Amino acid sequence: MSNVVTNWAGNITFGARRLHRPAALPELQELVRAGGPLRVLGSGHSFNRMADTTGDLVSLSSMPRTVEIAEDRRTVRVDGGIRYGELVGRLDAHGLAVHNMASLPHISVAGAVTTATHGSGVRHGNLATSVAAIELIRGDGELVTLRRGDEGFAGAVVGLGALGVVTALTLDVVPAFEIRQYVYDDLPRASLEQHLPEILAAGYSVSLFTNWQTTDINHAWFKRTDELPEGPLFGARPADGKRHPVPGVPADNSTDQFGVPGPWHARLPHFKMEFTPSTGAELQSEWMVPFDRALEAIDAVARVREKIVPVLQVNEIRTVAADDLWLSMNYERASLGLHFTWIADTAAVLPAVAALEEQLAPLEARPHWGKVFTEDAATVRSRYPRFADFQALVAEYDPRGTFRNAWLDDILGR
């Protein structure tokens, strides 16, 4: 490639020979038929080498944008390159919404789905759970469609890019709704011990942010469909100004707060689409642990607080409902998510990541597929009861290894 291509964070420089931007489906199929190695580059919001390759990268950014709402208004079919920020306004204009969104509206829908990325809420599954059908080009270049209930569907949705190039997704939609966002400062540690399940269930979506300078929570964000009464909540006080998730960072790019009602797509993410997301240069890690062991997990992080504070920007604590997708981090268990935004220094961050993994191992923590983790692949595989079935599905859809790379070889154990 004549130009260096990196991921969004800049910590990964892709080793591909070429970057293709096909403009039509037949052109994309021919690229696949030519053989690999070939990997799809979405919005680049992965923090490890899952999208890297020594062969060719393909971006779907030049493919036609597709937003087709079904006649019954229960689903929408979108193309494989669309981002949430491009989709949500068009859905809202038709009085429709997706049930959940990630912190950043800048990510691609297909990339979020294939890695089981999520928003938060004890009653809400991750973004992949809204998929009703998936269309992909498998390793021989043929286009196939799998619908919810079909054999292999639950294994294909969170597919890590291993089964093929996702060209379209059909998503469940719901009627559009309004959300109010409230932020509270200084949630006491004692409140977590006494009321953690109630706190995390006190909104459509709830996020707790801490930099672990103390054992208290810096900010608690409650996204609700109704109003909250004035005054303290669980011992925390209403914020006296707009907040950014990272303590001390200017809040201009954060979504609106103070309980002002607004459309779902302008409140469920933490960051506005029109601004640069988050703090810029950073690394990210995330682990999902069983929700019924949530306080144990928070205690586990506290035990290595001194190791993580020097390299931590913020730790977000949130919840995700259980699902039946084979490689979802929330497979068959409601989860507490522990998301860490680190400084942009890989060498300094990795020891902190390893320390957290050691503490969280007894809880069978599942790392986010697209973020920084160091546990060996065999250990990660052991935490997914259907992993052998996924390996068989990969062999069926990509027997030539068109979509393989070193990262995926390690994960699959072959």
The answer to whether residue 203 is domain-embedded is yes
The answer to whether residue 360 is domain-embedded is yes
The answer to whether residue 196 is domain-embedded is yes
The two structure tokens encoding residue 364? 């069978």
Residue type at 140 in one-letter notation: D
Claim to verify: residue 154 and residue 222 sit in the same structural domain: no
pTM for the whole structure: 0.95
- How many whole angstroms separate alpha carbon 352 and alpha carbon 356? 6
* 380: CB partners within 8 A, 6+ apart: 366, 367, 373, 411
Residue 11 contacts residue 344 (beta carbons within 8 Å): yes
- How many whole angstroms separate alpha carbon 256 and alpha carbon 181? 7
- How many whole angstroms separate alpha carbon 126 and alpha carbon 117? 6
How far CA 272 is from CA of 8, 105, 245, 251, 266, in Å, comes to: 17, 8, 13, 11, 7
> Can you give the pLDDT of all 414 residues of the chain as single tens digits?
556 788 888 888 888 889 999 999 999 999 999 988 999 998 888 899 999 999 999 999 999 999 999 999 999 999 999 999 999 999 999 999 999 988 777 889 999 999 999 889 999 999 999 999 999 999 999 999 999 999 999 999 999 999 999 999 999 999 999 999 999 999 999 999 999 999 999 999 999 999 999 999 999 999 999 999 999 999 999 999 999 999 888 998 899 999 999 999 999 999 887 775 554 589 999 999 999 999 999 999 999 999 999 999 999 999 999 999 999 999 999 999 999 999 999 999 999 999 999 999 999 999 999 999 999 999 999 999 999 999 999 999 999 999 999 999 999 997
The answer to whether residue 57 is domain-embedded is no
Name the strand (E) or helix (H) holding 395: helix 387-397
Place of tokens 């935004």: 341
Claim to verify: residue 206 and residue 315 sit in the same structural domain: yes
The answer to whether residue 54 is domain-embedded is no
Which DSSP category does 256 fall into? P
Owning domain of residue 199? 179-377
Give the CATH number, domain containing residue 148.
3.30.465.10
The two structure tokens encoding residue 115? 């890695």
Residue 38 contacts residue 56 (beta carbons within 8 Å): yes
Give the CATH number, domain containing residue 231.
3.30.70.2520
Residue 11 contacts residue 331 (beta carbons within 8 Å): no
